[in-house]
Amino acid sequence: MLRYSLLVTHYSFQRLMLRTKVSRTAVDFQAPDYTAVFPAALLTGLLISFLDILISPLFARR
């Protein structure tokens, strides 16, 4: 459960880093807005783990 949220947070962070590396080579480099990305990644990971907690009893074998 926590594993999924950590994976999503890690994946979104990696995509952010890749995006900043690509934009760093551009002439008009602007500093990326980290303030919006980190809460969004955290909330996405928490949402996925919460949904996993809710859904996992449905697929549990009895």
Whether residue 53 is predicted with pLDDT greater than 60 in this model: the reply is yes
The span from the CA of 62 to the CA of 56, in Å, is: 12
Give pLDDT, residue 33. 62
Domain total in the chain: 1
| CB-based contact 1:56 (threshold 8 Å) | yes
Residue 50 DSSP SS3: helix
The residue segments making up the domain with residue 41 are 2-59
Whether residue 41 is predicted with pLDDT greater than 60 in this model: the reply is yes
The span from the CA of 35 to the CA of 21, in Å, is: 18
pLDDT 10s digits, 5-35: 777 777 777 776 666 555 555 555 566 666 7
Q: To which H or E segment does residue 49 belong?
A: helix 34-59
Look up tokens 């449905």; give the residue.
58
Whether residue 49 is predicted with pLDDT greater than 80 in this model: the reply is yes
